[in-house]
């Protein structure tokens, strides 16, 4: 037995050391003096800048019928206190009015204008205490209006409250459009799960949504709180913990399957740690714990962060490229991802479904640009608050480089034949090349196949394939590169397409015929440079 105890102690020490190595220097904590006593005190929420709401038993109720039997302590009430300069909660006073009942009240969250509050209490509404089949009363969620003097009034029961299960621990999304809460309602993965529901107004709501397996486990997830940087903090004993409930964080900007991050010691301990709350400055806040060394069964602690703690936030941009006019998908479009400084990060040539995916850090800024042969460039700016499901719509370009009819030898090609065949070529998109490359890309091959079919139908025409470069590199080098591109184009049409070599000619123009502003020394995006790396097709006589 002694050997097993030693092994267990070593295991616990190694687990705690693993977390502590990463985080113990990030925080300093202290047990608060004024608001804690031998009873249970926990669950803080800011009321404005300088006051705090928290749950604590009513010390005046000592009669046996006024205590909660599981811990033999008086029922919880909500208190309000002032926040001192050193983080202490002082001058705590019990809230009065409609909010106070003879049963539990705890865990409140306010709208930013302080006019509405959501809070937890026993399922007691309009003097009726709702019980399940065994006679037990579960927790329920309530909403109230807050008057200018701080009085709570017009209390309304949350429509999804039920006698058979609990709902509580509310918090609000950053834009206050969603209410988050904890419940063991049908559809839960475990003992208690975190849900969210759309707030529609007039005490009406959408359907509750379980946050799923990236947050919830088969055990307990409780006490959600969403910080200013959109990180969901919550308590759980279902993820890897030091013991009991630990506090975890996960960025709500992330749309990947990464696990929540354990905040480690000293925020977490071998016992229960929960109800994490951090100020908008992201530097200090509060949490609750029943760890050893406290004053009572649960106590409120104050913490300060010594250095920033960033939650992992790997995310994905999911996008699709479409024709702006027809709204149809555009296969073979070229998409570029830039970071916030304009550096190219990644590129894609989209497939037949015109969809693309980029992996990003959702705490950073990005830009996505899409282009396609014969279309203008579309751009989307990405910030940590941007919806990461993108639709980039490209507009068909109106400008075409078409030779005049006077340039055609009418003895070989009639004007009617020229108009018909050149019109067909006008519907062939320019083909594009990668930087400093002359190979034929898959998106270009499909356009060259069109040229082959037109030349098979228009048997009298001859075609010039004129190729170009962007302005990067020297003019001499670019002249040679453009000729290689033109020749690669001709080789495809003659060797793959079977068109006689005497019917098509390769001419390179280097960087002499740029299509946009991107001349030497001008800073341009990759998508803008891409528009210059092209081959075009015109009927001519040579």
The confidence band for 166, taking pLDDT boundaries of 50, 70 and 90, is very high
- Does 487 fall in a domain? yes
Q: Are 287 and 269 in contact (CB under 8 A)?
A: no
CATH number at residue 334: 2.60.40.1120
Q: Are residues 301 and 331 in the same domain?
A: no
Domain of 266 in residue numbering reads as 2-305
Strands 73-74 and 67-68: antiparallel
Which of 382-386, 455-459, 495-499 comes out lowest in average pLDDT? 382-386
Question: Tokens 């100020």 label which residue?
Answer: 279
Calculate ∠ Cα 56-57-60, nearest 5°: 130
- Are both 49 and 99 inside the same structural domain? yes
Q: How far apart are CA 129 and CA 140, in angstroms?
A: 11
Q: Which helix (H) or strand (E) holds 419?
A: helix 415-426
- Give the model confidence (pLDDT) of 321-345 as tens digits: 999 989 999 888 888 888 888 777 8
What is the 8-class DSSP label of residue 239? S
**Which residues 6+ apart lie within 8 Å of 184 measured at CB?**
165, 166, 191, 192, 193
Q: Which residue has the tokens 């999304």?
A: 173
Residue 154 shares a structural domain with residue 43: yes
**What CA–CA distance (Å, rounded) separates 36 from 471?**
71
Determine, yes or no, domain membership for 399.
no
Closest by CA position to 236, among listed 201, 284, 194, 197: 194
Q: What are phi and psi of 18, to 5 degrees?
A: -60, -45
- Same domain for 468 and 322: no
DSSP 80-115: EEEEPTTS-EEEEEE--BTT--SS-EEEEEE-TTSS
For the chain, the straight-line distance linking the first and the last C-alpha, in angstroms and rounded, comes to 98
Other Cβ atoms within 10 Å of 14 Cβ, number: 9
Give the 3-state DSSP-derived string for 488-514, with helices as H, strands as E and coil as C. Answer: HHHHHHHHHCCCCHHHEEEEECCCCCC
What is the CA 204 to chain-centroid distance, rounded?
27
Decide if 452 is inside a domain.
Answer: yes
Query: How far does Cα 533 stand from its chain's mean position?
Result: 35
Asked, for residue 400, whether it belongs to a domain, the answer is no
Cis peptide bond prior to 362, omega within 30° of 0: no
Per DSSP, the three-state class of 315 is: strand
- Single residue among 351, 366, 394 that ends a domain in this structure: 394
Q: 295 and 321: one domain?
A: no
Neighbours of 84 (CB within 10 A): 13
The confidence band for 355, taking pLDDT boundaries of 50, 70 and 90, is very high
Instruction: Reply yes or no on whether the pLDDT at 9 is more than 50.
Output: no
Task: Give the pLDDT score at 377.
Answer: 82
Q: Looking at the domain assignment, is residue 385 inside a domain? A: yes
Q: Cα(361)–Cα(384) distance, rounded to whole angstroms?
A: 9
Q: Are residues 252 and 321 in the same domain?
A: no
DSSP string, 241-263: -SSSSEEEEEETT--S-PPPEE-
Tokens of 52: 């705090």
- pLDDT band at 410, cuts 50/70/90? very low
Is residue 254 situated within a structural domain? yes
CA distances from 488 to 492, 512, 519 (A): 6, 20, 25
- pLDDT of 25 > 50? The answer is yes
Query: What is the band of 8 on the pLDDT scale with cuts at 50, 70, 90?
Result: very low
* 273, 365: one domain: no
Number of domains in the chain: 3
Give the model's pLDDT for residue 60.
60
Q: Does a structural domain hold residue 97?
A: yes
With beta carbons less than 8 A apart as the criterion, state whether 505 and 464 touch.
yes
Q: Do residues 290 and 188 share a domain? A: yes
pTM of the model: 0.61
The Cα-based distances of 391 to 14, 355, 465 in angstroms read 48, 9, 33
Tell me which residue of 257, 437, 430 sits closest to 347, measured CA to CA.
437
444: tokens are 């270009």
Same domain, 116 and 236: yes
Q: Provide the β-strand partners of residue 42.
A: 55
C-alpha dihedral sign at 208, 214, 215, 216? positive
Confidence band (pLDDT; 50, 70, 90) for 72? low
Four-point Cα dihedral 188, 194, 198, 200, nearest 10: 90
Domain shared by 221 and 324, yes or no: no
Dist. CA 86–CA 69, nearest whole Å: 36
For residue 482, pLDDT over 90 is answered with yes
């Amino acid at each position: 037995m002694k050997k097993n105890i030693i092994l267990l102690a070593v295991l616990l020490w190694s687990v705690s050391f693993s977390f502590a190595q990463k985080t113990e220097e990030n925080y300093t904590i202290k047990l608060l003096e004024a608001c804690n006593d031998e009873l249970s005190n926990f669950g803080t929420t800011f009321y404005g800048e300088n006051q705090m709401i928290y749950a604590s038993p009513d010390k005046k109720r000592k009669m046996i019928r006024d205590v909660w039997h599981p811990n033999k302590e008086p029922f919880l009430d909500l208190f309000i206190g002032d926040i001192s300069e050193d983080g202490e909660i002082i001058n705590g006073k019990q809230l009065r009015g409609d909010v106070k009942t003879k049963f539990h009240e705890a865990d409140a969250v306010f709208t930013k204008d302080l006019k509405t509050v959501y809070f937890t209490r026993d399922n007691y509404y309009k003097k009726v205490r709702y019980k399940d089949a065994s006679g037990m009363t579960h927790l329920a969620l309530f909403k109230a209006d807050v008057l200018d003097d701080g009085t709570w009034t017009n209390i309304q029961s949350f429509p999804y409250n039920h006698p058979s299960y609990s709902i509580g621990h509310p918090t609000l999304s950053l834009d206050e459009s969603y209410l988050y809460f904890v419940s063991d309602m049908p559809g839960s993965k475990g003992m208690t799960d975190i849900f969210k529901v759309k707030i529609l107004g007039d005490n009406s709501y959408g359907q509750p949504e379980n946050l799923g397996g990236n947050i919830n486990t088969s055990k307990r997830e409780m006490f959600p709180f969403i910080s200013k940087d959109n990180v969901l903090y919550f308590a759980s004993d279902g993820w890897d913990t030091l013991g009991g409930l630990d506090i975890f964080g996960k960025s709500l900007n992330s749309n990947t399957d990464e696990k929540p991050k354990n905040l480690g010691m000293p925020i977490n301990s071998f016992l229960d740690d929960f109800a994490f709350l951090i100020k908008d400055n992201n530097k200090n806040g509060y949490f609750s714990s029943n760890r050893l060394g406290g004053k009572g069964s649960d106590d409120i602690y104050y913490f300060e962060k010594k250095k920033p703690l960033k939650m992992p936030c790997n995310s994905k941009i999911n996008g699709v490229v479409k024709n702006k006019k027809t709204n149809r998908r555009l296969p073979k479009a070229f998409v570029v991802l830039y970071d916030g400084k304009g550096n190219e990060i990644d590129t894609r040539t989209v497939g037949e479904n015109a969809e693309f995916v980029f992996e990003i850090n959702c705490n950073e800024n990005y830009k996505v640009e899409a282009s396609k042969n014969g279309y203008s460039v579309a751009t989307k700016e990405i910030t940590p608050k941007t919806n990461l499901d993108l639709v980039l719509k490209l507009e068909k370009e109106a400008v075409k480089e078409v030779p005049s009819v006077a340039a055609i030898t009418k003895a070989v090609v009639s004007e009617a034949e020229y108009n018909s065949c050149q019109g067909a070529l006008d519907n062939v998109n320019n083909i594009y090349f990668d930087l400093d490359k002359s190979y034929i890309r898959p998106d270009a091959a499909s356009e060259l196949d069109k040229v082959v079919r037109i030349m098979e139908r228009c048997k009298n025409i001859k075609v010039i394939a004129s190729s170009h470069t962007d302005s990067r590199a020297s003019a001499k080098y670019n002249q040679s590169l453009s000729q290689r591109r033109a020749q690669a184009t001709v080789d495809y049409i003659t060797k793959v397409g079977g068109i006689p070599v005497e019917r098509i000619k390769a001419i390179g123009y280097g960087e002499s015929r740029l299509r946009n502003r991107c001349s030497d020394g001008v800073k341009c995006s990759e998508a803008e440079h891409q528009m210059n790396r092209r081959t075009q097709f015109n009927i001519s006589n040579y």
